[in-house]
Structure formats: structure tokens, C-alpha cells
Amino acid sequence: MKRINNIPKSGLFFVLLLILFMLSCGEDFPENVESTNYVVLKSIKILNAGVEGTTVVEGTVNEVTKKVSFPRVDPETDVSAIRFEAELSEGATLDKETYSFHFEEGQDANDIVIKVINAPRFREYSVELRLNVPVFGADFKKEQVIDYTNNELGEPLYPVFTGSLTRGSGFDGKHVLIVTRNAMGSHLLDVNDLKNGEIKPIPLNMTGVTLGTFTVNLGAQINGHTYIANLSGGLASPLKIYHWTDPSEAPQVIANIDKNTIPGAGARHGDNLSVNVDEDGNGYIYFGDNAVTQILRLKVSNFTEISDPAILPTQPGLGGFMNMNRIGNSDQYLLTGHEAPIMVTTANADVAYKMANSSIPLRASDPRVVYFNEERYLLTVTAARGGSDPVVMYVYDITRGATITEALEIFEAGTKTPLLQYSLLGPTNASPSTQTGWYVTKDEEGNDDKLMLYGASNDAGFVIVEFPKKTLDD
């Protein structure tokens, strides 16, 4: 009573009012309904599989996960009216007599939810139906993850991804490139070492790497070729690009550009870098200036010969962290920034198609079209530009469609459900530079065997996720 005596009269009044309110509401609280009516799915069969609708297929019930699986069924099965025979708890029934599964073109599996009802109780089970058809693409249910992000499910955050000191990275399936202003210095990591849980940095020889607002900022790793660009914070500051094929050797300075010599050039470059070269080392390098006034394009020949600087138009919303990536071996590119949707463009940055702002997260960055085992995917990693922005690797199926424009149109007209969402748990920061990459491992016959996807972001770390090709597993 001592505490109550020390409460002011006004405070005591509110305490009493709260007690009265709680007592008056007590009768409204839901009460537990006692029942002996159990709702367990003990076994289940499909009764009408096959062309004739007479084939019986036995299922497997996982009571822990509440999931039901079946062997693959004949694709001529009437999937719009599947009939089950189930062994249930006494008195229980299924919620329907027939069930409909919907399969989009090219889809070999889908699932629905069924209910076991024994009033007043019910229990839900997820039932997957798979068709016995040729399968393509990657099996996104069987990932192997190498995680050095903030995600607590993986290894600790790779140590140089702090304090915005590591804004650039790259990936070519063999090595991860880390571009950092940390005292550890820019280096490579062997992917085989990472798979074995080993961190063995391979230092890059930085002899001759000088000048710039920052001497190193972003990079790219392509077919064993390492590129690093500085941050050029003004017209008087040279824009430099370095190239290595042997990390122990001093790099080639393949570009040392006085931007005063390029009419229309913006003042600050190097916050973003998109290196697009083919297996022969031919293509383009793109820089968008920080003020979003233009895009600087450099022609690349034989991996190291830089020529023909050109100023291209930019687009609203690209921001200082734009990306422009070539689509396969075509003459089209994916262009985006942290405040703009993905656009399909020409090499001259002319827009041919623009996705809607809401089709995928607007912060989706460094988009790439991935080709694997006769399927086509869209890979992005979102950037944490604002307080509610997550850093997530997304993969979407864009297989359908003869062209990339048609594929995106079909995708935007559909459910737009991602095949993969993997969180890097990056913090919000003012310079959310973000990278993606992919690599296909071949089998002895030269066929696609495994797909590796790469994602990284400033202060979030990096992750590699590997998937086997999809197979008929029963």
C-alpha cells in the first residue's frame, strides 16, 4: 500500500479507472474451446491421375512441416479437378471434394493449401503437385550459400565492409574482387577457398595507383580480368581505370582521362561503374556522373584499349549510383538507378522499354539478365537508400517471351513473384553502391550444371548463392 499512498490523487484516479476498465472487459476475452476432435492427416492419395483419370498416386505427409508431396504425375492429368482419398482423424473431413492446381506455361510444380476439418478445429496442409515433364532452369529449393553479409545465418560480415570504405566489388565465378579503401587494401578472394570456409586474400599490386578524390572506388571482375576505377570528383581530377590479369604485377593504366577534353562531361565520375566486355574483351564501359546530367561511355577493345569517349543522355531518377548492363550478346542493355525503374536501352542509352515503378522494388540495382539451362532470369540487389529500404537479392523468372521486351511485358502482366529473396541486412547509407554477378558451371558434356549468383552492397557485405540444375528427382 505504500506505493499507492505515494501516488498523487490524479494518478490514483487513473489507476482505479484502468482497473475498472480491465474488469469490465474481462468477459469479452476469448476463451479456449476444449475439444477432442483431432485434425491429423495420416495418409493421402490422388485417385484420378493420368490420361484416363484412373491412376492412383500415394503421397507422403510431413506432419512436422505440414507439407504433402507426391511422385510426379502424368502431364495429361486433369489438374483442375484433383480428387484425394485421405486417412484422417476420426470424424474429420477434407474441406473440398476436388481441388484445382494452376500451372503457368513452362511450370512443372505448384502447390495449394487443403484443410482438415473437425469442427470446431481445423488444420492446414500445403500440397505440392509436380508434373512428369522435362524440366529446365535452376532448382531454387536447393541452394548452397556462402554468406559474408550482416545476415546472421551466414559467416560474420566480411571485415572491410564497414564505414563505407568498401563500395566496389566484382565476381566472375572464379574470384571475388574487393575494392576497398580499408587498410587491408584491394584484393581478390578465390571462390574455391570460400567454398571451403577459408579466407585467403590475394593482394593486388597497387604500384602506380595514384590521384583522384579517392584512388580506388569501384571495380569489375570479368573472365579473369580485374578493373578498378578511381573517384574523380572534379573536371581537374583525372578519371583513371586500372587493369590486372596477374594480381602480383603492377596494373596497366588503361584510362587517364582529362575530362576537360570531353565536351559535355560531368564533373564527378566513379560513384558508379558498368564494365561490359565480351569474351574477346570488346564492348563498353559506362559512368554516370554524380549530378545525373549525362552518361560517359568509353569503347573497349581487347580488354585494355580505351577509345571514343561519348556523352549520352541520362534519365530522371538514375541518381549517382546508376548501372547499365548488357543483355547477353545483344545490342540491348538494362539501365536503372536507385530511384528509377529498370529500362531496356540501346548502347547509346536510348530507352526502348521502361518497367512500371511498382513491378519490382524501385531500389533494385545492378540488374542483370541471367541465362541458365534454357531459362532466363532477372537478377538484382536492392539498395538501402532510405530508412525502410532492405538490401535483398531478388531473382525473377523472365523465361517466357521471344525478346527481352516481350519477356518483361509478360512478367509485369503476371504475379511478379520472385524465385529467390535473400537478405543481406544492409544498413541505410548515403552511398549505397551495390553489385551483382553470375556464373554458370558446365558438366563434362558442356551442359549447364550449376548456377552461381553474387550480390554485394556497401556496408552489407557479399553473398554467393549456388543452385544445381533442376532434375526429375523421382
pLDDT per residue over 168-223, tens digit each? Answer: 999 999 999 999 999 999 999 999 999 999 999 999 999 999 999 999 999 999 99
Backbone angles phi, psi at 189, to 5 degrees: -125, 130
Q: pLDDT per residue over 375-416, tens digit each?
A: 999 999 999 988 889 999 999 999 999 999 999 999 999 999
Q: Cα 231 vs. chain centroid, distance in angstroms? A: 27
- Annotate 182-221 with DSSP letters as a single string: STT-SEEEEHHHHHTT----EEPP-TT---SSEEEEEEEE
Q: pLDDT per residue over 240-292, tens digit each?
A: 999 999 999 999 999 999 999 999 999 999 999 999 999 999 999 999 999 99
Q: pLDDT per residue over 29-71, tens digit each?
A: 445 456 678 999 999 999 999 999 999 999 999 999 999 999 9
User: In the chain, where does the domain assigned CATH 2.60.40.2340 lie?
Assistant: 41-130
Domain 41-130 is in which class? mainly beta
Q: CA 276, CA 369: separation in Å to the nearest integer?
A: 13
Give the 3-state secondary structure of residue 404: helix
Q: CA 393, CA 376: separation in Å to the nearest integer?
A: 16
Question: Vertex 20, ends 18 and 22: CA angle to 5°?
Answer: 70
In this structure, the number of other CB atoms found within 10 A of the CB of residue 402 comes to: 7
Question: Vertex 326, ends 266 and 252: CA angle to 5°?
Answer: 65
